[in-house]
Amino acid sequence: MPLKVVDSHTEGEPTRVVIEGGPDLGHGSLARRAARFAADHDRFRSAVILEPRGSDAVVGALLCPPSDPSCAAGVIFFNNIGLLGMCGHGIIGTAVVLAHLGRIGPGGQRFETPVGVVTASLDSANRVSVENVESYRHLKAVTLEADGLGPVTGDVAWGGNWFFLSGTPPFPLRYENRGKLTAAAEAVRQAIVRQGVTGAEAGEIDHIEFFGPAEAAAADSRNFVLCPGGAYDRSPCGTGTSAKLACLAADGLLQPGQLWTQESIIGSRYEAHYRAGTQGGVIPTVTGRAYVCAESTLLRHPDDPFADGIRPDG
């Protein structure tokens, strides 16, 4: 079967939606099917995402039949090293792609993800508001000793993925510093592992976020987010913004319904607000724009030594 994909970017961050030719993951919850995908189809993941067909920045979105009949689709997100629990920019991109294909129309659509159901409201052809899973702060003011940086203090929060969020970036949050920020964020991630800091239920903290003052007058904060696999987020990061709202709410610095505008390292923006959750956290809504870039058929020739992508294990 042909492997057909549609590419988009959300505020600069790419998403590749697999619309035909994905693996058969059987039945059951999306979390169980995601586990099957990770265990049995990792070479499909790498063929779609890695060079020479993709890049480290691309996030894949595999469409699946939802187990919840109220959902328009199930979505499993994956990147250059594995699977993601949720992906805010990916949901925005997926909704715009499905609208582009005529599969959904304006208004709210529910999407099943491995970590829960989210709602994407198509405000226009390119603008989507995502009501995310309940987000919360797990740990406040954790101090790490990071190589080359010294002590770094931040909060640990859940926004669909686990984040360490620090308000003291080691370098100015500007695009030209992305290489130095990447190295610093990786040093923080290594310190997290070395010091045994985790999310709830030993959840791996695999996203590092530095934030500080915005450059644009219309924004509240600017961030740099390092994703698992070593690529930085070109968008303001939907799950990271959700985690940030949870921290702001926990500190009494943002009220329900109050608008927060998050700026990315490239200057793109999300608008966000929250309502109270049912488990003591917050239910964030994140709004951003996505644009379809390409419709493609990916080919895997049997004699191509890199049919499964350029993998570290060959």
The pair of three-digit structure tokens given for residue 169, joined into one six-digit string: 């970036």
**What pLDDT is stored for residue 2 in this prediction?**
81
In the residue annotation, 71 being an active-site residue is answered as no
CATH number, position 244:
3.10.310.10
Burial class (CB in 10 A: 0-12, 13-18, 19+), 141: exposed
Give domain status of residue 224, yes or no. Answer: yes
Which amino acid is residue 143, in one-letter code? T
Q: Are residues 91 and 117 in the same domain?
A: yes
Domain coverage including residue 112: 3-133+293-298
Same domain, 219 and 251: yes
Domain match, 82 and 148 both: no
Residue 87, in any domain of the structure: yes
| pLDDT digits 0-9 by tens, 226-263 | 999 999 999 999 999 999 999 999 999 999 999 999 99
Give the pLDDT band of residue 1 (cuts 50, 70, 90): low
| Segment 196-201 long-range contacts (CB within 8 Å, at least 24 positions apart) | 197/139, 197/142, 197/144, 197/156, 197/164, 198/162, 199/138, 199/156, 199/158, 199/162, 200/138, 200/158
Distance of CA 134 to the CA centre of its chain: 15
For the chain, give the percent of residues with pLDDT over 90: 98
Instruction: Please spell the DSSP secondary structure of 175-196, one letter per residue.
Output: GGGHHHHHHHHHHHHHHHHHTT
The string of pLDDT tens digits covering residues 173-185 is 999 999 999 999 9
* In a shared domain, residues 240 and 225: yes
Under 8 Å between Cβ of 139 and 285: no
Query: Is 237 marked active-site?
Result: yes
Q: Given 64, 71, 87, 247, which residue is catalytic? A: 87
Do both 262 and 196 map to the same domain?
Answer: yes
**Distance (Å, rounded) from C-alpha 87 to C-alpha 286?**
11
Residues 186 and 62 in one domain: no
Q: Do 186 and 252 have their domain in common? A: yes
Total domain count for the chain? 2
Q: Are residues 206 and 165 in the same domain?
A: yes
- 57 token code pair: 């920045």
Q: How confident is the model at residue 314 (pLDDT cuts 50, 70, 90)?
A: confident
Cα–Cα distances in Å, from 204 out to 56, 135, 152, 164, 303? 20, 16, 18, 10, 38
Q: Are residues 140 and 232 in the same domain?
A: yes
In a domain, 47, yes or no: yes
**Domain-embedded: residue 309:** no
- Whether 106 and 212 share a structural domain: no
Based on the domain organization, do 111 and 165 belong to the same domain? no
Please indicate, yes or no, if residue 189 is contained in any of the structural domains.
yes
- Give the C-alpha separation, 313 to 250, whole Å: 43
pLDDT, averaged across the chain: 97
- The verdict on 189 and 76 lying in the same domain is no
Is 153 a residue whose pLDDT tops 70? yes
* Tens-place pLDDT, residues 119-137: 999 999 999 999 999 999 9
For residue 282, being part of any structural domain is answered with no
Main-chain dihedrals φ then ψ at residue 250, nearest 5 degrees: -60, -30
Q: Which of 64, 71, 227, 237 is catalytic?
A: 237
pTM (2 d.p.): 0.96
> For residues 52-61, b (16+ Cβ closer than 10 Å) or e, as one string?
ebbeebbbbb
